[in-house]
Structure 1
Amino acid sequence: MDGSMLHLIELFSAPKEFKGPVRPRVKHLELIEGHGIKNDKFAGKNVERSVMIVGNIAYDIAQQHGIALEQGSLGENILLSFDPHQLSLGEMIQIGEAKLQITEKCSICTHLSAFDTKLPTLIREHRGIYCKIVQSGVVTKASSVVLL
């Protein structure tokens, strides 16, 4: 994969008190090895699923089928310019100071049907990936994305 094609589009995090269908945008994420995203409501629950990464292709597919989705609707923490489903389980990604290891591909969850009943099927192969944090660090929109 051409390194010039890999870039970060947006960052999202849901604080503990957040309730809603679209995760709020944030200026940075502080990724903490063995814990998760600082101040995120899912931190400390499952370190194998600490960070969710989605490729913009999922939003493109939805739009092509007339489904208007706001970024953050798919539950992602990091939205990237490429489809992370092209990567294999166990592969490593460095984003900014942090290093992540891909642990699993996201399953289709029922909350996606709230946006449109066709959405889960349409993005099944592009839903996103979960990663564990193997090196703590801060990620910003200006952070570089490197496949290791």
Structure 2
Amino acid sequence: MMEIGKVISTFSATKLDKGLPRPKKDKLNLINDFGIENDKFAGKDLDKTVMIVGTFTYDMAKNENINLKFGSLGENILFDFNPHNYKVGTQFKIGTAIIEITENCTICNHLSKFDDDLPILIKDCRGIYCKIINSGVVKDNDTILLYKKG
């Protein structure tokens, strides 16, 4: 295993939360075969239970004078590197949790509420869906290890 980065921040929305940005959380409890504890998407599509985004995407937007608060892209975990550099099947270990990349997130037109050009600008790096391989707690500043290459 090799250290490849850090967790910048964690986010989760309950069924009572509406829209974006997702609310900031102190930690996320990732539960295998379920999802993120108390998250509105838990128990649904297990291949899409965790969404990761890298600060790279926020930097792209900022370079185009689109200033977004972290959590605006719908991520659960914000990485300090670009996870789009890794393939489907890649696994990351964060604490005791292990997540695996399953697919790129599709562009949502509702991101245009921040800026009309945002969906097109970030179409190839909006975020990545992951499934939970091993349960565990993820929090800010946790080390991200490359557990298995895809």
Q: TM-score range by the shorter chain?
A: over 0.9
Give the whole-Å Cα distance in 1 for the aligned partners of 2:55 and 2:119: 15
Between the aligned partners of 1:116 and 1:24, the Cα distance in structure 2 is: 20
- Name the structure with the higher strand share: 2
Which runs of 5 or more structure 1 residues have no equivalent in the other structure?
Answer: none
Spell out, residue by residue over 1:54-81, the C-alpha distance to the aligned partner (whole angstroms, 9 max, x if none). Answer: 0001110111101111110000000001
Q: Which amino acid aligns with 1:141?
A: D
Please give the TM-score of this superposition, normalised by the length of structure 2: 0.94
Whether 1:122 and 2:136 are equivalent positions in the alignment is no
Point out where structure 2 has 5 or more consecutive residues left out of the alignment: none
After TM superposition, the structure 1 stretch with the greater mean CA deviation from structure 2, 134-143 or 32-41, is 134-143
- RMSD of the alignment, in Å? 1.1
TM-score (norm 1): 0.95
The residue type paired with residue 109 of structure 1 is C
**Number of residues of Structure 1 aligned to a counterpart in Structure 2:** 146
Spell out the pairing of 1:1-148 with structure 2 (5 A cutoff). Answer: 3=3, 6-148=5-147
Aligned residue type for 1:34? D
Q: Distance in 2 between matches of 1:94 and 1:55?
A: 16
Q: Percent identity?
A: 50
The runs of at least 4 consecutive aligned structure 1 residues that moved more than 3 Å come to none
